[in-house]
Amino acid sequence: MNEFQNLSALDAHFKALEQIAERVRAQVAPVFKVQEALRESLAPLFEVQRNFQKAIESFSIEQGRWWESIRSIEVPRFELPELPPIVNQFAEFQISLQRLLAPAFDEVQKSFSELAPRTRETLLLLGAHGWYLDLQMPLPELWRIKNALSKGNAGESEDALVEYFDERLGVIEKSITDEFPHRAHLIKAAFNAHRRQEFELSIPVFLAQTDGICKEVVNQYLFIKTNKKPSTAIYVERIAADTYRAALLSPLAQTLPISASERERPAGFDALNRHTVLHGESLDYGSKVNSLKAISLINYVAHVLQAEKEAP
């Protein structure tokens, strides 16, 4: 099984569970029919019970007529279905259900155990190419992009990410301004500049507001280093490293191109970088792709940190 198939396993298991559910419903149907037949057979007995209850209640009101009330209850004739077949059917159903579900749940559990490290690997690979996760991105789409990047198909991945974020501009803008209404005038100005293709103006605002949001939410600046690591690593490292929460936050604990210092940038470095943009060192950063990368970053920081802050 190749890497893409491994990454897609979780989605495959969910589909398998849907198929299992259909099979379970098919197996349960006969049991429900037996249950319904049993209930219909016992209906006369329940009627006797209700009549007897009425008689008892009337006794508290009209004591002298109690015995007559009891004698007036007519007990109907009815036959119970044979119980052993019903019991056996339930027992067989339990055994078959366990055999049916156990392997699927074992596979799902395995997939979930692999989800955190694979997510971390995927998000760091995206970050190395200047892109960041949108929490609304479907897992299969994320896995496809990761697989293409792993195979060296950066162009294919970038085209997919450009299309994805381009289509979600309005949704992302609204979600960030709704979350941080006091920053709305700056966020909207940056998005409007992006739509006018004034990327030299949109990118610096997105980067500055990303840092401001980070400081506001977790009291750490994204682009300041402490012990050669982003200050946000202090926050991320408080979370157990093997959890999915830590995996989602992993780009904030690593030095990636967007935050690389002068010493960390290799010769010929031309990726989007906060320092070179805001300090006037880069003069050719103004492109649609770089602006969408900056949008992916502010969207990621705004929602991942806010979700983490609100987590129990």
Burial code (b: 16+ CB inside 10 Å, e: under 16) for 123-143 equals beebbebbbbbbeeeeeeebb
Which range of 43-52, 79-88, 197-206 scores highest in mean pLDDT? It is 197-206
pLDDT confidence band for 272 (50 / 70 / 90): very high
Check pLDDT > 50 for residue 184: yes
Most confident of 15-24, 91-100, 205-214: 205-214
Q: Which residue has the higher pLDDT, 299 or 58?
A: 299
Is the per-residue pLDDT at 162 higher than 50?
A: yes
How high is the pLDDT of residue 306? 75
In which band, very low, low, confident or very high, does the pLDDT at 279 lie, cut at 50, 70 and 90?
very high
Kindly calculate the radius of gyration of the chain based on its CA atoms and give it in whole angstroms.
32
C-alpha–C-alpha distance, residues 312 and 309, integer Å: 8
Domain ranges of the chain: 3-111, 129-310
Q: Which whole number is the average pLDDT over 227-236? A: 75
Residue 61 CB-density burial (10 A; 0-12 exposed, 13-18 middle, 19+ buried): exposed
pLDDT at 212 (0 to 100): 94
Alpha-carbon distance of 208 to 210, in angstroms, equals 5
Q: SS3 for 229?
A: strand
- pLDDT, residue 93, reads 58
Overall average pLDDT of the 209-233 stretch: 83
Q: What is the pLDDT of residues 5-57, one digit of tens each?
A: 444 455 555 565 566 556 656 655 665 565 566 566 556 555 655 655 554 44
| Inter-axis angle of helices 169-179 and 184-195, nearest 10 | 170
Rounded Cα gap, residues 254 and 128, in angstroms: 10
Residue 96, token pair as written in the block: 């078959």
* Spatial distance between the Cα atoms of 35 and 165, rounded to a whole number of angstroms: 53
> In angstroms, rounded to a whole number, what is the distance separating the alpha carbons of residues 205 and 299?
13
Point out which residues pair with 153 in neighbouring strands: none
Res 238: pLDDT: 73
pLDDT for position 305: 83
What percent of the chain is modeled with pLDDT above 70?
61
The average confidence (pLDDT) of the chain is: 76
Question: Which residues, in sequence order, are CB contacts of 260 under 8 Å at separation 6+?
Answer: 269, 271, 273, 275
The DSSP output letter for 220 is: -
Q: Is the pLDDT of residue 66 over 70?
A: no
Instruction: Report the distance separating Cα 201 and Cα 224, nearest Å.
Output: 22
- pLDDT digits 0-9 by tens, 103-131: 555 554 555 556 778 888 999 999 999 99
CA–CA distance, 265 with 107 (Å, rounded to integer): 42
Environment class of residue 20 by beta-carbon count within 10 Å: exposed (0-12), middle (13-18) or buried (19+)?
middle
Q: How confident is the model at residue 311 (pLDDT cuts 50, 70, 90)?
A: low
| pLDDT the model gives residue 246 | 81
| Maximum mean pLDDT: which of 42-51, 92-101, 162-171, 266-275 | 162-171
Give the pLDDT of residue 49. 55
Structure letter (DSSP) for residue 230: E
Quote the pLDDT of residue 29.
61
pLDDT at 138 exceeding the cut of 80: yes
Lowest mean pLDDT among 29-33, 80-84, 203-207: 80-84
| Angle in degrees, CA 22, 24, 29, rounded to 5 | 100
Give residue 28's pLDDT. 56
